[in-house]
Structure 1
Amino acid sequence: MKRPRIILADDHSIVAEGLRSLIEPEFDIVKIVVDGRALIDAVDTLRPDVIIVDISMPLLNGIDAVKQIRKTNEEVKIIFLTMHPDVAYAVSALAAGAQGYVLKHSAPHELGEAIRKALRGKTYITSSLQRTLQETHKDHSKMRHKESSLLTKRQREVLQLLAEGYSVKEIASMLDISSRTVEFHKYQMMKDIGLKTVADLIRYAIKHGIASP
Structure 2
Amino acid sequence: MKRAKILLADDHRIVAEGLRGLLEPEFELVGIVEDGRAMLEAVDKHKPDVVVADVSMPLLNGIDAVRLLKKKNKNIAVVFLTMHLDVAYAASALEVGASGYVLKHSAPSELVTAIKSALKGRTYITPLLAGELIQYHKKKPQSEEGEIARLTSRQREVLQLLAEGHSVKEIAAILQISTRTVEFHKYSMMEALGLKSSAELVRFAVKHGIITE
TM-score (norm. length: structure 2): 0.95
1:121 aligns with 2:138: no
1:98 aligns with 2:98: yes
Unaligned runs of 5+ in 2: none
Post-superposition offset of 1:149:
1.2
C-alpha distance in 1, partners of 2:47/2:18? Answer: 23
Post-superposition offset of 1:114:
0.5
Q: CA RMSD, aligned part only?
A: 1.4
Equivalenced residue count is 213
C-alpha distance in 1, partners of 2:204/2:22? Answer: 36
Deviations 1:77-127 (A, max 9, x none): 110001111111101000101000001101513101111111111110011
Identity of counterpart residues, as a percentage?
Answer: 62
1:34 aligns with 2:27: no
**CA 1:68–1:181 in 2, change beyond 3 Å: closer, same or farther?**
same
Indicate the SS of the match to 1:94: helix
8 A Cα contact 1:92 1:141, kept in partner: no
Instruction: Using the TM superposition, name which of 137-146 and 92-101 deviates more.
Output: 137-146
The aligned counterpart of 2:172 is 172
1:147 aligns with 2:147: yes
**CA 1:13–1:143 in 2, change beyond 3 Å: closer, same or farther?**
farther
Deviations 1:116-169 (A, max 9, x none): 111111110011001001122244384564233111111111110011111011
Indicate the SS of the match to 1:105: coil
Post-superposition offset of 1:179:
1.2
Deviations 1:55-76 (A, max 9, x none): 1001110011101110111111
The aligned counterpart of 1:136 is 136
Instruction: Using the TM superposition, name which of 109-118 and 133-142 deviates more.
Output: 133-142
TM-score (norm. length: structure 1): 0.95
The aligned counterpart of 1:50 is 50
Indicate the SS of the match to 2:25: coil
The aligned counterpart of 2:204 is 204
Indicate the SS of the match to 2:89: helix
The aligned counterpart of 1:186 is 186
